[in-house]
Structure 1
Amino acid sequence: MSRLTRVISSLALAGLLAHCATPSGSGGAVSGDTVALRFAWPLGLTVQVASTSTVTQKDQPPEFSSLTYQLRLEGLGEERKLLTEQMIPTTIGTPLDEGPPPPMPTLVLGPKGELRRTEGIDKVVEEMAQQAEIQGIPKEQQAQITGLVHDALEQAARSRWEVLVGKWSGLALKPGEATERKSQTAVPLFGSVAATRERVLLKERVPCTEGETEKRCVRLVLESSLDPDKLDHATDELLRKLKSVMKANMAVPDEALPELTVMKIRVDSTLEFIAEPETLVPYSQRTVTNSHVIIQEPEGERKNFELQSERLERFTPAAR
């Protein structure tokens, strides 16, 4: 497997392309049993992460993968840097001669956890460009490939911030009461962005880990589905992304690409998160996604893409 291919496959293995670009909630007055959620990771915090994923495509046997990595928060004046380090695939049968996965971008955060920018993407993209040139890929096709890599890394970085911080920080929720809002998600297999409607629920207070008796954490649930009022835009974006991938793979001009039609697009997702409400230090995250896309080809053939995925991440914060 080439390093160009492994960039995308490593992102998929890490499960980093599931969500993106949702606005954070706004804080409000806290009273009664309302729980305020805010980002307050202590500087220097290190979190070990064990991630397992199961992906099933239509009529195919399920594929299993696993990964371990480390999250570390560094301080820099009014900024914080959240680093993803030591990414090691632990799936049985993973080849050992392909080298380590590409480094994940660094998230640069403000003191309240707001995402200010990402760092490290340009370096990885430059390495990909050098690999493409060594392989003799034409210049125009190189630009298409590196553009896709850049977008995938940016999307993965922002997704990592969203599921840990952006979707929760600033919300004030009562147990059993839901908050509804609009957001966006990435369409599995295609990587295009589509508008969604989300429902966020604080279910209950729970122990942070098995064996604990004190209920220091909360169980948060986020349910997401495509916004029915913006499906036309979702299909347009999917086709645009698909054409970009086809151009990168086949190096053909726009006029030579087939006229495809999206007949159906559906993405439903449930994200369950267990974390400390006063810090958002994580302990467990489970994401289940069901997607279905049907594409009509010019010759009359329909391509049916059905995907079910489940990712479980267990976080072990270092003693603090």
Structure 2
Amino acid sequence: MVREAGVRRDVAGEPAGGGGPHVDLGPRGVYHRGNRLNDLTGKEWLFSTRSVISMPFPPSCQFELRSQHGGQKPPELCAYLIRIFTKSGQRVLDPFMGVGGTLLGASLSGREAVGIEISPRWVDIYHEVCRREGLAPQTAIVGDSRQVLPTLEGPFDFLLTDVPYWDMDRRRRSAGKFKRAGEAARPRRPSKLQAFGDGPRNREEWLRLLEDVFAAARPLLRPRAYLAVFIGDMYHSGRFHPLSHEVAAVLDRLGYVMKGNLIWYDVSKSLHIYGYRYEFIPSMIHQNILIFRHEPGGSARRSGA
């Protein structure tokens, strides 16, 4: 709903409650006033249920500045997901905000958002992006989500986040370098799995971190609110690592109910000749977007309990 001159109006601009349940929005299709989830028409909803999303990184919203963060997501993709899982004016939560892709997506789609990020550097970049783009900043909090989330007031209508890979941001870059045409050589970013170190302990602590954060977020979500969680699987040290399975298991233990797995095919990602002549190594040009829902009465099964 939107408010105009003191009159509550629905997504079609008609007075709320007036007329029948269906509103013809022309090329957009027919909108049903009983839509509890979003502001989409039936035709738009059909398009939005595709299990594969093909979207490149558009050079928008200060792309070069945001690219200092190795895991930033296109604000347009975040806005696309936000429009599927919320209605206009609802609230979005991101406990791992990075440089603010979720918060920028919320601004693009007319929603409110709160993001939490442990690194002040990324929050500063988000605010600089907003300044350059002329956007009013959403609420961005510097801190550890495990401590910040219990201090927030709910409810939130959607949780959208890209989970971190342990201490990747604090790892030193590789001594190896890469170079694009016309650019100076730059150190390579560490592999995301290198952030786990040589033993299993860091990986277990990473999963415990995610469990603690998503557990703390649960009381803030309204009943039947959705979660969309970006997580990429990895090939590292001669082995494929299905990290999405491990994250899904964490959310399942906490009582969230899995509703789907969207595949984001990043059409702008370059292919590389891995393993030619001796071994099959996949070029990872997609990420998983795990879709869960906070069901009323869902029971948590915390690890170690």
- Would the TM-score normalized by the shorter structure come out above 0.5? no
| TM-score scaled by length of structure 1 | 0.23
| TM-score scaled by length of structure 2 | 0.24
Higher relative contact order (CA 8 A, sep 6+): 1
More helix by share: 2
More strand by share: 1
